[in-house]
Each structure stands twice: as structure tokens, then as C-alpha cells.
Chains A and B, each alone.
Chain A
Amino acid sequence: MASVELSQITKTFGAHDVIRGIDLTVDDGSFCALLGPSGCGKSTLLRMIAGLETVSGGTVRIGGADVTQAEPKSRGVAMVFQSYALYPHLTVADNIAFSLSLAGTSKAVRAEKVAKVASMLRLGELLDRRPAQLSGGQRQRVAIGRALVRDPKVFLFDEPLSNLDALLRVQMRLELAKLHSDLGSTMVYVTHDQVEAMTLADKIVVLDKGAISQVGTPWELYNRPANRFVAGFIGSPAMNFLRGTARMAAGGIAVTLQGGVTLTLPARATQDFVGDRPVELGIRPEHVSVASGTGAQLSGRSAVVEYLGNTSYVYVDTPQGSVIAEAAGARGLQSGSPVGLSLNLSEAHLFDESGRVLAAASV
């Protein structure tokens, strides 16, 4: 086990900056997810930790040792690839033992280690099969086994579940969580799936255009987004954003939305500002409910009603913009019918023109 420290890491492809000065510490034994949209540089960052990609600037330290220029095999890391990269001509046992065989480990030790890994990952019955004879989940377990057998200091996962169907993904997610709890190893996990990141990681790094947008626990990212990008990226359905003008008022911040509706957010820690300031009010769908009469702060017409079994989401077109509301009792709602919306303003966030948070929710 070891920590991973990245210091001022940059990566340039020609004139294109892919990674822009990243500083990050992944603590020993933690599960860190690198999360972001396609093209944000998360896989490149992981490959630089692995040594598969050269670093244009900065240093990579694993377990305190500078490995910036070290070969991948000398870094003490193992990687699980998105495509599994199992050697098709080798059996499961040979795939798992490949690194040991390269290292010249004796047959007896190899067999012992393979048996141990196979028992841990429930691969005992499959050791003589070839990858083509395995299901997606089994292949994934073999790929993990291949990493596990090397007893690495750090595990690197590059979107390992993205090729699995939804049901298998949930199952493998649980197995990975169990594996991390059993091994206590440092794991760095790249994903674009926020559910994977939220459920597996104790630390999430949200990347945007090659830079860190926010680092925090899943709770912090969801409830205390540092900027509009993180607020919009984390959560499904996404947070509602309503444009308006904010000014300090007695007992809170008054936000006048388009169409003249004024909402007063309760007092909270905020940057001081004077006069009117253009802002975006952000509020998650679960903090917006369907209301009627004087309880409704916004009104509009429902465009779409999504029934998900345990809850429903109503997409409402209002003069202030499109708003998604969670509506458990929306069974009677039809598309096109008038809807009143009530906002739990203590849960609302305010973002300034640059997208930085001006006032976080008071939770």
C-alpha cells in the first residue's frame, strides 16, 4: 500500500494542454475516483500515474518515491483496463500468472498465488478456460485477478465497468467495494459514471478540461459543490439553474428571477457584495415540489412526466426557465397541465457570473 502524490502535473499533446497543473494527494488505503466528462483528461492522468504516458511537467510520487521517469513495471502499480485486455491465447490461469511468469517465479509459487486469487474472485472453476469462453463479468474478474496477483501498492482502474450491462455493473460495483474493504489497498478509479464514483470512492476528484474542478467526499460534492460545473455534473437528474439578480436583503439574499419573481434565500455564509449582482440559482429536483395555491413560488406547464416507480420527475416550463421537480404523487399529472412549484430555498445554491459558488446551501 502507498499514497499517490501528483505535483503540478501537466501533459501537452502538441499545442494542446490536456492536463493543466494538477496537484493531488491520494492517501494510503483510500479509494479515489477521477470523475469527469469525456475528454476531461481523467484517463490521461491515470495513464501518467501508471507510466504509460509521459509527463510533460511536474512529479509523480508513489509511496513517497519519485517515479516520474520510472518504467511502469517499476512503479508498483497494477492496472485494470476498460477493455480488460486479457490475452486471448492464454487460459484464465495463464492470464493471471502472466506477470509472475515474466518475473521468473517458480511454477509452484505461481500455482499457489493463482489459486489464492481465484478463490478470492470465485474463478476456481474457470481457470482452464480462455477469455472468449467467459462472460463480461467473469472477464472483468480475471482482469482484476491479473492485477491482484502482482500484489501492487496501488490499483489503477480505467472505467472497468463501462462494458458491462446495468445489472452486472451494480454487482461488480459491490464486488469492487468489498475487494477494497478486504485489501485496504490504495485504488485510483477513473469513471464518467457519477453513481460509480459516489458509491465506491471515499474521495472524488472532478476534472474539467484538464484541471481539477473540486476534490471532496461524495457528500461534499453533492451538497457543497464549489462551482456550477460540479453542481451540474453531480446528481441525476441534474440541478436546476435559474438566472436572476441577487442583492443582500434583511434576513437573507433576495434573488429576482426572470419574469419578476423574487425569492429570498435564508441568511448563510456568503461572499459580501454590494448592489445587484447577476447570479444563477441552483436547486436540485428533490428540493422542488409540486404545489398549489399560495404554496407555489413558480408556476408553469408540465412538459414531460417521468414515472420511475419509486418517484416521478416533472419537467415544467416556467417563465423563469425549465425546472425539474421530484413529485412522488404526480400520478395524476398530464403533459401540458398547469403546475405550481415550491422551492426549498434553504437547499438552494447561488453561483456568480464566473460559475463559482457565491452562497452554498445551508445544509
Chain B
Amino acid sequence: MTGATTDGQSTSLGYMRRTPGGVLLTLLTLIAAATWFFPIYWAVMTSLRSDSDTVTDFGLIPANPTLEGYIFDIVHSELPIWYLNSTITSVGVTVAVVFMSACTGFAISQLRFPGRMLLWWTILASFMVPVTALIVNHFIIMANVKLLNTHLGIILPMLISPVTVIVYKQFFDGLPKEFREAAVMDGATELQVFLRVFLPMNWGVTTALAIITFIGSWNAFLWPFLVSQDEKMMTVTVGITAVQDAFGVAFGRVLAGAVLASLPVALAYLLFQRRVTQAIALSAGIKG
């Protein structure tokens, strides 16, 4: 199709014609998107209803919108402390996982030392063991070293992250060996090669992995739920279940807590959408 079209549309997009198959596909996509989005929408709308309205008002828009659920959570629960706990543990896990994974990936990729391949195969093999299968062991170890109800107790078992090690190793494998050799010729030690050449060359990957690790650790539930029995040591994801327990079926408050809990993750995703997508793409081939 060449030349100007009679309806005045751009010729470069002339091939984008509406076909019955295309229309059907678009409709199916819209239905899928709506199905995925509706629970989130409903949670937000319910959080804006009073406790009595949550069981009487089923309109798409709240008839008497109120922030009382949010106010209650912020004022009468430990939400600010849970937020702080979540921030401490998530930032701690993110920094530690990214740094240790980068170090390990660099060592396996660039250094030659006895047991290197054994270490690599161990990391690969750790995929075969689901974290939930180790959770009882983790709990006993943490209890024995008296780290239950501590930030460190929440953080330590969450540092097992073979995916990030593999992503880093793959990235470092792909760098031409001349970068390292040039740095060595310039007088760099291995640590300087890592910190001043390899790591800065890969800020994009590091940022992407940091964001996805942060989101993962913020959303983590099972381990923090087990290890933090003291209400003051709970993370926000665990804490909102306490709201439910304390006030029965107070859907407005519970869902207001859920919305508040997911706010940082939603913000992180909105701000760093491209990096998150990149991180998922980087680890997609590994996670399977």
C-alpha cells in the first residue's frame, strides 16, 4: 500500500488494519487485563468504605467514601513500625544480596581457584531445593542462635539468591577479557578490577537486580511471618494479618493496610518500570 490513503491516515501505519481476528484478540486482552485489575480496584475501593459499608455497599464507586480505614491503621496499629521493619529488612537484604551476588559472580567468572566449579554447581543445584523446604531448618538455626524476632533473623535466610549470582556470572562472562587484562596491566588488584571496572560497567544490571530483590523481599511473607512473633518486629506484610486478627472481619481496615503495604512496591514499579522489566528478562531464562 503506497501513497496517501483516502481517509488521511499515515501510509506508514497502513498495514495496521482491523481484522476480525485482531479485534477478538484485543477483546480477549482487555478481558484478561480487567480480570487481573479488578481485585486491585476492588481492594482500593473497599479500603475507602466504612466497616459497615463494606458489607452493604457493593457499587463500583463507594457511596460514602472515607479514609477511616487508613487513619485507623496509621494511628491505632503498629503500621509505622512495620513499615520501618520492612524498610530495614528489605534494604538490608537488597544491599547484601546484590553485593554478595556480584562478588560471587565475579569470582566464579573471572578468578581461577580450587573448588570454583564445585561452588558453581552447588549454586546451580540450590535451585532444586525450594526455600519452603528449608524453612524449618532456618527456623531452628535462627532459634538456636537467638535471632528470632530480630532484623538479622529476618534478613539472613533471605540472602540465599542463586538467580542473582547466575545473572552476574553470565554478565561478567560476556565481558571481553581485555577489560580485566587492561586493568591488571594498569596495576589493579582483583578487588580493584571488581570495584572500579566490572561493577561500574554493569550499573544497569545492578540497578535492575536491586529493584527486583527489593520488591521480592518487601513482599516476602512466609519467613518473616514465622520468625517475627513479636508485633513490634513484624514487617508490613505480616502486620496487616495482625490487623485482621485483632479486629475480626474489618475489611476496610485490612484492605487499607494491604494498599499501604503494597504502596512502596507499586511506586518502585512505576518509577523503575523499565529496569524491573529488564531484571525479569535477565532472570527469565534461569527461572524457567
Q: Do A and B bind each other?
A: yes
Whether A81 contacts B178 in the complex (CB less than 8 A), given A87-B197, A88-B201, A102-B192, comes out as: yes
Which residues of chain B from 41 to 72 have any CB-CB distance to chain A below 8 Å in the complex? Answer: none
Whether A72 contacts B179 in the complex (CB less than 8 A), given A87-B197, A87-B201, comes out as: no
Q: Do B185 and A52 have beta carbons less than 8 Å apart?
A: yes
Whether A72 contacts B192 in the complex (CB less than 8 A), given A87-B179, A88-B201, comes out as: no
Compute how far the CA of A89 lies from the CA of B192 in the bound complex, rounded to whole angstroms.
15
**Chain B residues with CB below 8 A from A103, complex form:** 187
Binary interface encoding of chain B residues 177-209 relative to chain A, with 1 for a CB under 8 A from any of its CBs, else 0: 011011111111000100011001101000000
Q: Is the interface of B mostly helix, strand, loop or mixed?
A: helix
**Chain B residues with CB below 8 A from A83, complex form:** 176, 178
- What is the distance, in angstroms, from A183's C-beta to the closest C-beta of chain B? 18
Interface membership of A79, Cβ < 8 A: yes
**Chain B residues with CB below 8 A from A99, complex form:** 186-187
Which residues of chain B from 244 to 278 have any CB-CB distance to chain A below 8 Å in the complex? Answer: none
**Chain A residues with CB below 8 A from B178, complex form:** 81-83, 85
Chain B: how many interface residues by the 8 Å CB criterion? 17
**Chain B residues with CB below 8 A from A88, complex form:** 201
Whether A73 contacts B182 in the complex (CB less than 8 A), given A85-B176, A89-B201, comes out as: no
**Chain A residues with CB below 8 A from B181, complex form:** 52, 79, 81, 85
B187: nearest residue on chain A (CB-CB)? A73
Q: Do A73 and B192 have beta carbons less than 8 Å apart?
A: no
Which residues of chain B from 193 to 243 have any CB-CB distance to chain A below 8 Å in the complex? Answer: 196-197, 200-201, 203
**Chain B residues with CB below 8 A from A102, complex form:** 186-188, 192, 196
Binary interface encoding of chain A residues 74-115 relative to chain B, with 1 for a CB under 8 A from any of its CBs, else 0: 000111011101011100000000110011000000000000
Interface membership of A173, Cβ < 8 A: no
Residue from the list B184, B192, B196, B201 in contact with A52, Cβ < 8 A? B184
Count of CB-CB pairs between chains A and B under 8 Å: 50
Residue from the list B185, B197, B200, B201 in contact with A73, Cβ < 8 A? B185
Residue from the list A52, A73, A82, A89 in contact with B186, Cβ < 8 A? A73
Q: Do B182 and A79 have beta carbons less than 8 Å apart?
A: yes
Chain A: how many interface residues by the 8 Å CB criterion? 20
Q: Do B201 and A72 have beta carbons less than 8 Å apart?
A: no
Binary interface encoding of chain A residues 117-143 relative to chain B, with 1 for a CB under 8 A from any of its CBs, else 0: 000000000000000000000000000
Compute how far the CA of A146 lies from the CA of B182 in the bound complex, rounded to whole angstroms.
10
Contact surface of A with B, Cβ cutoff 8 Å: 50, 52, 72-73, 77-79, 81-83, 85, 87-89, 98-99, 102-103, 146, 150
A to B CB contacts below 8 Å, 14 in the list: A52-B181, A77-B185, A79-B182, A81-B178, A82-B178, A85-B176, A85-B178, A85-B181, A87-B197, A98-B196, A99-B186, A102-B188, A103-B187, A150-B186
Contact surface of B with A, Cβ cutoff 8 Å: 176, 178-179, 181-188, 192, 196-197, 200-201, 203
Query: Given A73-B185, A79-B185, A102-B187, 20 other A-B contacts at CB below 8 A?
Result: A52-B184, A72-B185, A73-B186, A77-B185, A79-B181, A81-B181, A81-B182, A82-B178, A85-B178, A85-B179, A87-B183, A87-B197, A87-B200, A89-B201, A98-B196, A99-B187, A102-B192, A102-B196, A146-B182, A146-B186
Top 4 nearest A-B pairs by Cβ distance?
Answer: A85-B178, A99-B186, A85-B182, A73-B187
